[in-house]
Amino acid sequence: MRIAAFGDIVGRSGRMALLERLPSLRKSRALDFVLVNAENAAGGFGVTARIVEELIEAGADVITTGNHAFDQREELDIFDREPRLLRPANFPANNPGRGSGLYRSRGGADVLVIHLQGQRGMPPIDDPFAAAERELGLVKLGREAEAVIVDFHAEATSEKYGMGHFLDGRASMVFGTHTHVPTADDQILPGGTAYMTDLGMCGDYDSVIGMEKSEPVYRFTTKMQRGRMAPAAGEATVCGLVVETDASGLAISAEALRLGGRLKPAGGT
């Protein structure tokens, strides 16, 4: 099975770049399953029903979020209405939506997606390792699912690596989102799980992690706030990870993908 995951969409620039490329990528890379993290897709903060619909129409099978999941408060009902939209599984149980799901790939395989959020440097939240164990107690790789995908939305690289090794051999792929900078460590761990600390963002890299530069630089240099953060609007780089699995559901290849914009290309066209 060939699986692609794309990092945090930031604003209109990142959204349009992925929407334009995803249909052709799905065909040219023969992708069976696509995950997209869209937590910053709506003006940099959260996601809307219209954006979810556009991404699904373009070829996304599942959409994940993160700590900004509920920023568009007038659209929270989409988390209950759309099973393909996830918030982290270790959010409080009374929050809208769900944190995992079993989905069908284009080829008819069952794919478990687990969405988690880290604790280090993030708002207080339940233990993501316990949440991962709970979810895998219900659906196991090679038994109820032919692939297991884990989006770990976390700040600390150490916590992300810890999750990768904790799930090594039990997941097809574990990757980090949230920090918006692609890491150069796409690899297959010893137990057969594809891993990358952060996918990077789908957004304009002439920015401060996707936001127009002047306001964050002003805040860093003055310790004051002048206005609202706004997504950078230049040409975006589409960033992600493409993984191929074998019959066991474990990875046999893992390749970073970077297309367009300012970053050095990786992973073909």
pTM: 0.97
Q: Is the dihedral of CA 68, 72, 75, 76 positive or negative?
A: positive
- As assigned by CATH, the class of the 2-206+236-259 domain is alpha beta
Residue 268 has pLDDT above 90, yes or no: no
pLDDT score recorded for residue 163: 98
| Positions marked catalytic | 68
How is the chain split among helix, strand and coil, in percent rounded to 5? 25, 25, 50
Separation of alpha carbons 99 and 257, rounded Å: 26
Q: Say whether pLDDT at 269 is over 70.
A: no
Residue range 217-246: mean pLDDT, rounded: 96
The secondary element (H helix, E strand) that includes residue 150 is strand 147-153
* Separation between Cα atoms, residue 249 and residue 64, nearest integer Å: 21
Q: By three-state DSSP, how is residue 166 classified?
A: helix
Q: What is the mean pLDDT of residues 228-253?
A: 97
| In the chain, domain spans | 2-206+236-259
Contacts of 57 (CB under 8 A, 6+ apart): none
